[in-house]
Structure formats: C-alpha cells, structure tokens
Homo-oligomer: A and B are copies of this chain.
Amino acid sequence: MTVDTRQSIMDEAKLVVQAHGYSALSFRELAKTVGIKNASVHYHFPTKGDLGAALARQYSDEAQAFLNCLPLDRDSAAQTMKTYTDAFRAALERDNRMCLCGIMIAERDELPEMVRGEVDRFTEINIQWLKSFLEALAPKAGASEIMDRAVAIFSAVEGAQLIARGCADVAVFDRCMNAYGATALFPVWPSK
C-alpha cells in the first residue's frame, strides 16, 4: 500500500501528454486522478515545466537504454531497423498515442526551456543512433551524407507516426514504413 505519489503523478501525466500533448496537461485534473489536491502536485513538481522535464528526461533515458541494446552488425540490420520503427509503432497501438517527445516537438515553442532541452536530447539521441547504424552499414559513406540520411529517417518516422495518429489507423504507419523500405530511404528493411 506504499504508493509513490510522485511516480503516480508521472505515470498519469505521461499518458495524458502522449495522448493530448503538454499543453493539455492540467495539474487540477492530474490531482483529481491521483487523489490529492491541486496544490499538492506542486509539492512534488514546483511548476508544470518541472513535471514536463522529468517526463522527457525519463523518456529520453529509456530511449537511450533501448537503443544501446540494439545490435549494429550487418546480419541483423534488417531486423534492427524493424525493431527501431516498432518502438514508434507501439505507441500508436497503445490507444493511438504518440511518442512523448514527438508530440512535444510540435509544441516546442510553448514549452518551458527545461522541457525543451530534454525534448531536444531525445531527437539528438535518435539521430546519433541512426548515424551509428548507417555508418556500420556503409563505412565508406561521407559524414555529411550519413547525417542527412539520419535526420531524414528520423523525420520520416516521426512524420508517419503523426499522420497515422491523425488517421487513428496503425495501418497507415505500416504503409509508410513499407514505402520507406521499398524506396530505400531505409538502408535495410525485412523482405516479406
């Protein structure tokens, strides 16, 4: 029965942000759901920015840990690419939610600085991993080419998640991934 109030707040807040965005996050509703008073939320997170930053930090850390576990060797490359996109797909399958940081990128100008910093870190983590992945596959490719490709892939996957969520249809996400694979935007992709 020793529920951690702070963690309960974060768990609930994460769901709300993934479904409706940072701006839709309300301390008052959060308090109601968790079962405390509005002012009490501020004891754990002084401002909404502190809560948002804590969410994004935890999310980025988890992403980093997830990516660190993915193999970069040639033989598993196609499966690794699929595992990467499946992480974004999973959010859609869970009640049509978005990547926590993906949805906050859209709200970037509205975010307190501390939140923005963490959201940017998520983007950076993804781009860096994609660069490592691409480099492992094509060691002789130019740095600039690798960079363009990494940014393009990340943008395309985030965009697909955004549009698929708009249609409330995971199949749209799958269509995009297949098209990205078929047209070689993705360096590798599992053949059927």
Which A residues fall within an 8 A CB radius of B? 19-21, 23-24, 98, 103, 105-110, 119-120, 123, 147-149, 151-160, 162-167, 172, 175-176, 178-180, 183-185
Instruction: Tell me whether A179 and B149 are in contact (CB under 8 A).
Output: yes
Rank and list the top 9 A-B pairs by shortest CB-CB distance, nearest first. A159-B159, A106-B106, A152-B179, A155-B159, A156-B156, A148-B175, A155-B160, A155-B163, A23-B23
Give the number of copies in the complex.
2
Partner of A176, one of B108, B148, B172, B178: B148
Instruction: Tell me whether B163 and A151 are in contact (CB under 8 A).
Output: yes
Tell me, in angstroms, the Cα distance from A174 to B108 when the chains sit together.
20
Partner of A109, one of B20, B110, B179: B20
Tell me, in angstroms, the Cα distance from A108 to B155 when the chains sit together.
19
CB distance from A191 to the nearest CB of B (A): 16
Instruction: Tell me whether A160 and B162 are in contact (CB under 8 A).
Output: no
Given A148-B179, A152-B180, A183-B183, 19 additional A-B pairs, CB 8 A: A21-B106, A23-B107, A24-B109, A108-B166, A147-B175, A151-B179, A152-B156, A152-B160, A152-B179, A154-B163, A155-B172, A155-B176, A156-B180, A158-B162, A159-B162, A180-B185, A183-B184, A184-B184, A184-B185
| Residues in B whose Cβ lies below 8 Å from that of A164 | 155
Tell me, in angstroms, the Cα distance from A162 to B104 when the chains sit together.
10
Partner of A162, one of B109, B155, B165, B172: B155
Tell me, in angstroms, the Cα distance from A180 to B179 when the chains sit together.
12
| 16 A-B residue pairings within 8 Å (CB atoms) | A21-B110, A23-B107, A105-B162, A105-B165, A119-B166, A148-B175, A148-B176, A148-B179, A149-B183, A152-B160, A152-B176, A155-B160, A155-B176, A158-B162, A183-B183, A183-B184
